[in-house]
Amino acid sequence: MDNRSLVSIDDYTKEEILEVLAKAAEFEKNPNSNILEGKVVSSLFFEPSTRTRLSFETAISRMGGRIVGFTDASSSSTTKGETLNDTIKMVSNYSDLIVMRHPIEGSARYASEVSDVPIINAGDGANQHPTQTMLDLYSIQKTQGTLENLNIFMVGDLKYGRTVHSLLMALSHFNPTFHFIAPKELEIPRGYKIFMDNNNIKYQEHTEFGSIINDADILYMTRVQRERFADPLEYEKVKNVYILKNDMLKDTRDNLRILHPLPRVNEIAMDVDANPKAYYFEQALNGVFARQAIIAKALDL
């Protein structure tokens, strides 16, 4: 594996996470540069995306680089039976860096093992979404002034939500207290509970969603991931399990900020958007700066 790849959030040490966040703050102050002049970045999206793809493309454009790639696997030779191995070997001939989203867990790790250039994982199935985690951490640090000792509430699809999995692992460096609110069918996978137990991370699990959020510093809402369900009837049972409404926020902490990786379906009512505690659209903007910093690190710039 090219050791500059970012496949899983634990490819970064705590020090590297903090270094990338500091770099993101520099990019936020000065987003436009030519540091990618002469570089070509491949953007391979085998799965749909709005924010991740467009914020990467914005980041690359603002840094003076060029982008090649596809936004839909159906327009690539994957449809003719080309393997991921061959696609990555080809594309790594063409470019200096590959950003890839793929529906299969482990695909980014595999790609990093066959690629001659760094791979940035833009989401692999229900597994990991480390660049989302970096923008989530940046958003938390900006709004709370720290990453340490926070009460983090995660709500919704904690089973298939890859952003939850990556964020949980990253925050484990910063002495969090987690509260996981999910129906039994969508609870946090056992492997992450073992990880937290082994690392003395405090956590509680809940199925009720109500005044318990009054203790939260960060409320991380998630969409139920319809595309990961084998049985559509199982999705129907849980799709509207938790909906955050504005009146639920009246006794919450002043410093509370509501994050959501987006897209939302209906887990946050529209009346929350005007509440100053709603931060999800600013969070998405932070993705440009965080991804500029991740690209710069991957290319040693």
**Is 193 designated active site?**
no
Using rule CB under 6 A, residue 261 touches ligand CP: yes
**Is 165 designated active site?**
no
Of the candidate spans 21-29, 45-53, 74-82, 236-244, the one that interacts with ligand CP by CB under 6 A turns out to be 45-53
Nearer to ligand CP, 262 or 296 (CB): 262
150's tokens: 């926070």
In contact, 240 and 173? CB cutoff 8 Å:
no
**Is 52 designated active site?**
yes
From the candidates 51, 66, 89, 277, give the one annotated as an active-site residue. Answer: 51
Draw the binding track, 104-123, toward ligand CP (x: CB under 6 A; -: no contact): -------------------x
Using rule CB under 6 A, residue 49 touches ligand CP: yes
**Is 80 designated active site?**
yes
Of the candidate spans 3-11, 28-36, 70-78, 261-269, the one that interacts with ligand CP by CB under 6 A turns out to be 261-269
Using rule CB under 6 A, residue 58 touches ligand CP: no
Q: Is the four-CA dihedral 234, 235, 236, 241 of positive or negative sign?
A: positive
**Is 146 designated active site?**
no
Per-residue CA distances from 30 to 20, 281, 292 (Å):
15, 20, 11
Q: Which residues bind ligand CP (CB under 6 A)?
A: 49-52, 123, 132, 261-263
